[in-house]
Structure 1
Amino acid sequence: MIIELPNTSTKAIAAELANARESHSLATGRVLTLLVAIDDEGQSRIDDTLATLRDASFEHPARVLVLISGDPEAPPRLDAEVRIAADAGASEVVVMWLRGELTANLGAVVTPLLLPDTPVVACWPEKAPAHPGQTQLGRIAQRRITNLRRDTRGMTLERLAAGYEPGDSDMMWSRITPWRGTVASALDRYPGRAVRGAEIAGAAGDPSVDLAAGWLASSLGVEVARHEARGATDFPIAHLALHCEGGDVEVAVQDAHTVRISAPELADSFVAVGERTDAECLAEELRHLGPDATFERALRGLSGVRRGL
């Protein structure tokens, strides 16, 4: 159900949310407030974002406040939609189109609509700010999630690392969670051998490959050579070789759904690892609302990554 509120105010939106909950017997067990900031650059991408939020909400029922910033030079205006039931998944979603000076005051816009006594998470599903924690929404939230995969302005992982504050994360990190578990399992199969170095190959310019390299550098304390994978791959990380005493441990993509693990003197094994959707990545990010120390170490580990050919 979509309730349209043209040329409205946050007071009217709050009243409509209360009325919708009472009239439609909606559950009140929202576990957090999710603030989502995007630019008004095409309805199709906004629809994709709303679909991602809806799918992620089934694991994390929330009040979702989507702020779509338009022309900052236009007269001030707020148009809104309140989405509930099938159009909002397990959440209640407020989509707000902002014009004029409202685009520079996002914190003031969302404050009257925050759920009391629940965590606040800020998300930028497309364009990532250089310092998420220093933005108006970032200062309200204890958790801040970006998505370099969808960034169209060329925001780099290095710039994001320079602006890092505890509580920051990126969906490129959760994108490789199953792969990281596979790597840890591969090393467990070959215990007691020191890792002397590592080489990783993946799609050129893919931040998830760089994050994986930084994670290895920080976790293993070795230099990691980052190469560009030759030819198309179904998964961002095509190949990993861990140079250990006694031989290499390798994790290599076989197809869109399988990676092969090879270790000296052991038979090859195969593990199912597939591409993750943005909804799956966002749902994982929302499972833990404290600082992600491992992600921070992966960012710091970027200094130990050497670019190869």
Structure 2
Amino acid sequence: MIIDLPSTTTSNVNKKLVELRESGGAVALGRVLTLVIVTGDGSEVEEAVQAANDASREHPCRVIVVASGARQAAPRLDAQIRIGGDAGASEVVVLRLYGPLADEGAGAVVPLLLPDAPVVSYWPGQAPDVPAKDPIGALSHRRITDAAAEPNPIAALHKRVRSYTAGDTDLAWTRLTSWRAMLSSALDLPPHENVTAAALKGAPDSPSTDLLAAWLAVYLDIPVTREDHPRQGSGLYSAVLERPSGNIEIVRPDGKVGSLTQPGQPDRRIALQRREVRDCLSEELRRLDPDEIYHITLGGLDKIERATDRPDDEADEEAAAEAGKGQS
């Protein structure tokens, strides 16, 4: 069910929520948190709501979407309430703020927060320079950003280093859970030797590749080289851990299935499907305490050695492809 409330107030939205609860039997006390999504007034809204709806099946919550409209318009608040099949296991309130109200998202959110429930804020697109100092971020126990969705993902990631406050996290880090688990389990198998160095390859715009390299550099205390894969948007391509008896190597060429190679073990194909936003969001909503490992990993970004030169055969292949385009 979707109820539109054009040119309304937060007081009227609250009254309507109570009315719907009394008539439909929805129990607000069953919600475990309030998830505030801050976005523009475009297609991002529906994508973010869908991800939140899917995550809410594991974490029933009230979802408040703050969508900023045209700042040149007259001050106006349009609201939309979604419950039932249109809201997963949550209740969704979409607030569209226009004119001077576009900068007053926190003031519109406060009256709609669930009492005595944690608040999590999420920016599916461009995030504030310092999320914890943003008015909505200041209300939140946890703040979730996504460097991969920013115009310049690598610059956004380094901005996270400077702005980090306990409670911050980024979905570029959450997408690495499967990679970190695979590498850790591989090191648990014999031969139990120290890793001497590591090399990672990923798209030049992949913040997850940088974070995995930093994680290895910090926790294994080894030199780590980060090489660019020529294809933008291809994410993390491979990770190699060097050991005296032979390397541990994970390669994921298609973004779906990877291969794991290590000494004394048969080669294995492993599931490394790129994680959907809903899965990453659901994982982050499982915890409300600071992610200390993420914080420490951010501090290791300056330990990465960047390999700027690509192998000659790879460069030759790309040059030949470009020449073929020019002839066609």
1:288 matched to 2:292? The reply is no
Match of 1:80 in 2: 79
CA contact (8 A) 1:76 1:99 kept: yes
- Conserved in 2, the CA contact under 8 Å of 1:64 and 1:93? yes
Q: CA deviation at 1:190?
A: 3.4
Q: What is the CA distance between 1:173 and its match in structure 2?
A: 1.2
State the TM-score, normalizing by the size of structure 2. 0.88
Q: Give the equivalent residue in structure 2 for 1:136.
A: 135
Task: Give the whole-Å Cα distance in 1 for the aligned partners of 2:146 and 2:217.
Answer: 22
Q: Specify the alignment match of 1:48 in structure 2.
A: 47
Higher Rg of the two aligned structures: 2
1:76 and 1:256 map into 2 onto residues whose CA distance is 45
Q: As a proportion of its length, which structure holds more strand?
A: 1
Give the 5 Å matches for 1:25-36: 25-28=25-28, 29-36=30-37
Aligned match of 2:212: 212
Q: 1:135 to 1:232 in 2, by over 3 A?
A: closer
Distance 1:191 1:289, change over 3 A: farther
2:103 is matched with 104
Q: Where in structure 1 do 4 or more consecutive aligned residues deviate above 3 Å?
A: 152-155, 230-233, 254-257
Gaps of 5+ in 2: 309-328
Q: 8 Å contact 2:37–2:48 — kept in the other structure?
A: no
Structure 2 CA distance for aligned equivalents of residues 153 and 205 of structure 1: 7
Given that 2:150 and 2:156 are in contact with CA atoms closer than 8 Å, whether structure 1 keeps it comes out as: no
Give the corresponding residue for 2:168: 168
Tell me how far 1:153 sits from its aligned partner: 6.1
Task: Quote the Cα distance in structure 2 between the aligned partners of 1:231 and 1:70.
Answer: 35
Aligned residues: 306
Q: Which residue number corresponds to residue 305 of structure 1?
A: 304
2:17 corresponds in structure 1 to 17
- 2:189 counterpart residue number: 189
Does residue 68 of structure 1 match 2:100? no
Aligned to 2:320: none
- The one-character-per-residue Cα deviations of 1:231-286 (angstroms, maximum 9, x if unpaired) are 689x6221111112322111122644322222223322332221111111111111
Structure 2 SS opposite 1:195: coil
What's the TM-score, normalizing by structure 1?
Answer: 0.94
Please say if residues 38 and 123 of structure 2, whose CA atoms lie closer than 8 Å, have aligned partners that are also in contact.
Answer: yes
How far 1:131 moved relative to its partner?
0.7
Using the alignment, how far apart are the partners of 2:231 and 2:82 within structure 1? 43
What amino acid maps onto 1:20 in structure 2? L
Q: CA deviation at 1:202?
A: 1.1
The letter for the 2-side match of 1:7 is S
Q: Cα RMSD (Å) of the superposition?
A: 1.8
Contact 1:80 1:94 in 2 (8 A): yes
Q: CA deviation at 1:216?
A: 1.1
Q: 1:224 to 1:134 in 2, by over 3 A?
A: same
Asked whether 1:252 is paired with 2:251, we answer: yes
